[in-house]
Structure 1
Amino acid sequence: MANAKAEAFKKFIESKDSGAFGVEEIPKDELHTVLFHSRLKAGNVEYPFIVTVDDSVFVTLRVLLDQAVVKGEKRAAVLEEMNRLNHTYKSFKHYVDQGGSMVLDACLIMPEKMEGSLIYNMLTMMMEHLEHVGDGIRKAAGIKTPEGPGLSIVK
């Protein structure tokens, strides 16, 4: 692996949660980008997420809240809810992408040394955040909320 930070994170997750992540190196990428795929569970909802590690000083954590659901009359309500959340929670960015999918991002600064525990702590914060705000986002989008407790990275 050409990316030393990605290699360090891979070793970290193998020691912590072997098999919890899929790893994908982006070929011929100038920043030696490596994607770590997994799913997290908040409440009774499983969300796919990606941790992006490259040669820049940034590590991005991206959670897909729901795919291509924000259309028509629901768009304004979803954007209003996400704007409210963006003003309330400084650690996260909520947005609707060009395809209408609802996304939650967090960005960490890691200039040189990979700190896997910092990524895990942020993922925990994202899970807890979704426990508290997920229902409001789904309600704005007109999506039924599944029932049941739980908070975990899904293997």
Structure 2
Amino acid sequence: MQTPEVLVLQASYTNPVHAQALGTLLNHYAEDVMGGGESLSLDTRQQLASELAKRPHAFSVLAFIAGEPVGLVNCFEGFSTFVCRPLVNIHDVVVLSSHRGLGISQKMLAKVEEIARQRGCCKLTLEVLEGNEVAKAAYKKQGFDGYQLDPQMGRAMFWQKVL
């Protein structure tokens, strides 16, 4: 079977096709066990693009095959105080389950890196669940690894407090 051609691009939050793809793909992720297993509200799906557009440091990358959205990466620019340069946090990585194993995440992550380099960023960051071995392997292929300053202090942990 021939690998289908994948179009990877930075999303335009004002493009209706891109806006719908953002909501649909993020909902697919939310419904997956790795995303919590629950659907997003209709309001969230419909308002996602317009809310992201209000945030100048947000950007998204979409992947399409034959005009159909199959992948999404949402990113937010932050700032490294230790390096005094911007960084990009990869917040969501989504590939439709029907299209996994085709290298789509690799192509999207490469596009994110290209955008980050254009912005003068010093690094990319992301969070991954300990048990998500497939995602961890994909991220390692792109050069990601666990974060630690001093091995005796252990690896950094990602915590949250819901408001």
The reply to whether TM is greater than 0.5 is no
If asked which structure has higher relative contact order (CA below 8 Å, sep 6+), I would say 1
TM-score, normalised via structure 2 length: 0.30
More strand by share: 1
Compute the TM-score of the two structures, normalised by the length of structure 1.
Answer: 0.31
